[in-house]
């Protein structure tokens, strides 16, 4: 029995699915559902292809209350740049959660992942950062360094951005680009300690394997979102900071223990208290992360299949509303 | 950097990708590669969606020597018939094994799985059945009962088929259909013992949970392909038959131990010898399954991701040669 499948390319998605409050809200809804425990999120399927210096990951999650569920396939082939191709590619497939039929294919090459990752940063900032943020700081200069700041500004309209990167040229380019893009002051700084001191909201977006943000730099009224660590060997935040903060929150506890900042704090023998709460519990109001303006809060984001299901559902709605994509009767 | 992705529907695939010797050969090549140990085949990703009486499985395998690798997504939503929809649907995605880029999307609703499953039966018959097969028997009357007999006849041109099913009406329909299709004698029988006695090649294709083929029925010069059991609770062949046969061969040992006929023989405490060889070792000549015409041989098929990669690679070649499908620049 033939039904229509919507096929949407990266170019069309970039034109239609933007980092806006609607995207943030749909990702927030996914986190709230994660906290109820009724989400089904199997472990990641991962396959290495050593001959091509490649790997492929498959993620999925079913969220009650969402019409569909996504399966995301993310190949990373690290010899591609020598062939003039990007290392990362892949697609998301949206299935009906009622019938299992394919509803949409998003040939996005990771674009929807970029959006849902940044949107999670906005959810963290909305529920954990102080009400007043005048300066936001970012450690890192890549795609997420840009998107995370844009996302955070949707919920905390700060007027100044400070950026630090290991490569000062990239930091300067970042400052030029973002200043033009946001129309506010964006300044590259040499000293990450100074960046943290002057910011109320800091996002770390690097693949660092040794901490780049010291616990000594924490100050009253600071919120940190750490989104760089998503593998067992990564670590951006001084493990002492997790203990020193008034609240440390995970996107998904089972992932942060293995892949996030929490892993390093446990390995260092520093995390000895009860297990931290998840972002979904903060979203739903079950847990209050920030109890007063002077609290120090940290949110650890490793990335979840629930976000993929949320953004794929959103992308389909946007694509239908804006009549993009190709319908295939199958 | 845009590249062309080929999208092919089930209807187009049914018209172009047929059960022929080319399909059998490509699946045989995948089994030979499986035996070398260099295939990467991760465990299946499986997710249940209890609210919709649904489940979804994701399989993949990388085979050195194949240009691409497939990821297969198989949803099964068992309330669909009440909605006028088939329970099974899904798609295969073919990726370049060199760059990870998506090359083709096969919206096949399980059709390519049907073909690669039947092709594996032909590989087993080619390398394990006696040279002379005049009568083939099949237990079961479903899609695979039909395809397995057609596949086996590609490599053993028998002139008579016997069929047995729990439902005599379905067995009679099978006989009428296959006789018309193959132009040979096809006869429904009431007694599976008689069917086995008169056949040199028997294929079991049922979801039985108790043996339907007794060890007492084995006779010199018999080959059995058991393809029904692919879950821990299924069992078609009397476990004593596995021990009594001159050769018992698995498609994939790790799967047959958990999902195939071997599981029942181990559970019954009957399988105490060394672990059986795999079909790939038989294909490559490393293991000789049938040493003489009078041997009794059994092949246990549970279905592998390697077959999916093989059939998806084949389907792309056929689609390009016959100019079917839609090219999408993505």
pLDDT tens profile B1-24: 568 999 999 999 999 999 999 999
- The fourth-level CATH superfamily of domain B4-113+306-329 is ornithine cyclodeaminase, domain 1 (3.30.1780.10)
Q: Rounded to a whole number, what is the distance in Å from the CA of B50 to chain A's nearest CA? A: 10
pLDDT at position B230 is: 82
The strand pair at B4-9 and B326-329 is best described as antiparallel
Taking Cα atoms as reference points, which of B246, B235, B239, B225 lies closest to residue B138? Answer: B225
Residues of B in contact with A99 (CB under 8 A): 52, 54, 77, 80, 83, 85, 89
pLDDT at position B1 is: 54
**B1 closest CB neighbour out of A40, A46, A85:** A85
pLDDT at position B45 is: 92
Residues of A in contact with B93 (CB under 8 A): 73, 91, 93
Q: Rounded to a whole number, what is the distance in Å from the CA of B168 to chain A's nearest CA? A: 28
**Maximal C-alpha separation, chain A:** 63
Cross-strand pairs, B48: B55
Across chain A, mean pLDDT equals 96
Taking Cα atoms as reference points, which of A203, A197, A140 lies closest to residue A174? Answer: A140
Domain B121-303 has CATH 3.30.1330.10: no
Q: What is the SS3 assignment for A86-119? A: CCECCEEEEEECCCCCEEEEEECCCHHHHHHHHH
CB contact under 8 A, B80 and A95: no
CB contact under 8 A, A45 and B58: yes
Residue A282 has pLDDT above 70, yes or no: yes
Residues of A in contact with B54 (CB under 8 A): 97, 99-100
Residues of A in contact with B90 (CB under 8 A): 100, 102
Cross-strand pairs, A139: A164, A204
Average pLDDT over residues A241-269: 95
CB contact under 8 A, B91 and A91: no
Q: Please, which pLDDT band fits residue A37 given cuts at 50, 70 and 90?
A: confident
CB contact under 8 A, A95 and B83: no
Rounded alpha-carbon distances, angstroms, from residue A170 to A182, A188, B149: 18, 9, 64
Helix (H) or strand (E) holding B93: strand B91-96
CA–CA dist B78, B53 (Å, integer): 6
ipTM field: 0.88
CA–CA dist B149, B201 (Å, integer): 10
**Domain locations along chain A:** 4-113+306-329, 121-303
CA–CA dist B254, A218 (Å, integer): 52
CB contact under 8 A, A56 and B95: yes
Q: Rounded to a whole number, what is the distance in Å from the CA of A104 to chain B's nearest CA? A: 11
pLDDT at position A192 is: 98
List the structure tokens of B271.
Answer: 């399988």
CB contact under 8 A, B328 and A330: no
Percent of chain B with pLDDT over 90: 93
Rounded alpha-carbon distances, angstroms, from residue B238 to A40, A122, B141: 38, 60, 20
Residue B272: exposure state from Cβ atoms within 10 A (0-12, 13-18, ≥19): exposed
pLDDT at position B273 is: 84
Higher local confidence (pLDDT), B273 or B243: B243
Q: Please, which pLDDT band fits residue A1 given cuts at 50, 70 and 90?
A: low
pLDDT at position A43 is: 86
Average pLDDT over residues A248-263: 94
CB contact under 8 A, A62 and B84: no
Region of poorest pLDDT, from A36-40, B92-96, B111-115: A36-40
Q: Rounded to a whole number, what is the distance in Å from the CA of B117 to chain A's nearest CA? A: 22
Residue A310: exposure state from Cβ atoms within 10 A (0-12, 13-18, ≥19): buried
CB contact under 8 A, B49 and A43: no
Across chain B, mean pLDDT equals 96
CA–CA dist A6, B146 (Å, integer): 34
Alpha helices in A129-271 (DSSP H): 143-155, 168-182, 192-198, 239-244, 253-259, 261-267
Taking Cα atoms as reference points, which of B101, B97, B237 lies closest to residue A91? Answer: B101
pLDDT at position A330 is: 84
Tell me how crowded residue B81 is: count the other CB atoms within 10 A of its CB: 10
Sheet of B91-96, strands arranged across: B45-49, B54-61, B68-77, B91-96, B102-107, B4-9, B326-329
Average pLDDT over residues A8-29: 97
CB contact under 8 A, A101 and B107: no
Residues of B in contact with A80 (CB under 8 A): 99-100
**B330 closest CB neighbour out of A45, A76, A107:** A107
Residue A289 has pLDDT above 70, yes or no: yes
Task: DSSP for B290-318, please give it.
Answer: -SSTT--EEEE----HHHHHHHHHHHHHH
CB contact under 8 A, A48 and B60: no
Tell me how crowded residue B239 is: count the other CB atoms within 10 A of its CB: 21
Buried b (16+ CB within 10 A) or exposed e, A151-167: bbbbbbebeebbbbbee
Residue A44 has pLDDT above 90, yes or no: no
């Amino acid at each position: 029995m033939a039904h229509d499948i919507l096929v949407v390319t990266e170019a069309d998605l970039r034109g239609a699915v933007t980092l806006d409050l609607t995207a943030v809200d749909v990702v927030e809804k996914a986190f709230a559902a994660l906290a109820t425990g009724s989400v089904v999120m199997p472990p990641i399927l991962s396959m290495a292809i050593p001959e091509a210096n490649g790997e492929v990951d498959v993620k999925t999650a079913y969220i009650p209350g969402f019409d569909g569920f996504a399966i995301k396939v993310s190949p990373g082939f690290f010899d591609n740049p020598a062939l003039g191709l990007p290392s990362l590619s892949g697609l998301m497939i949206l299935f009906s959660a009622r019938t299992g039929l394919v509803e949409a294919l998003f040939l996005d090459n990771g674009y929807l992942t970029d959006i849902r990752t940044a949107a999670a940063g906005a959810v963290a900032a909305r529920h954990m950062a102080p009400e007043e943020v005048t300066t936001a700081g970012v450690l890192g200069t890549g795609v997420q360094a840009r998107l995370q700041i844009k996302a955070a500004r949707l919920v905390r309209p700060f007027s100044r951005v400070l950026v630090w990167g290991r490569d000062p040229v990239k930091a300067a380019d970042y400052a030029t680009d973002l200043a033009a893009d946001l129309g506010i002051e964006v300044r590259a700084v040499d000293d990450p300690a100074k960046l943290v001191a002057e910011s109320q909201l800091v996002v770390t977006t690097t693949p660092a394997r040794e901490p780049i943000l010291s616990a000594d730099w924490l100050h009253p009224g600071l919120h940190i979102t750490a989104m760089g660590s998503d593998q067992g060997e990564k670590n951006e935040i001084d493990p002492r900071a997790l203990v020193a903060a008034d609240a440390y929150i995970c996107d998904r506890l089972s992932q942060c223990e293995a892949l996030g900042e929490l892993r390093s704090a446990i390995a260092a023998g520093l995390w000895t208290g009860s297990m931290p709460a998840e972002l979904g519990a903060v979203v739903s109001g079950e847990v209050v992360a920030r109890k007063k303006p002077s609290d120090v809060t940290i949110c650890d984001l490793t990335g979840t299949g629930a976000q993929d299901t949320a953004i794929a559902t959103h992308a389909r709605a946007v694509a239908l509303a804006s009549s993009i994509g190709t319908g295939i009767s199958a």
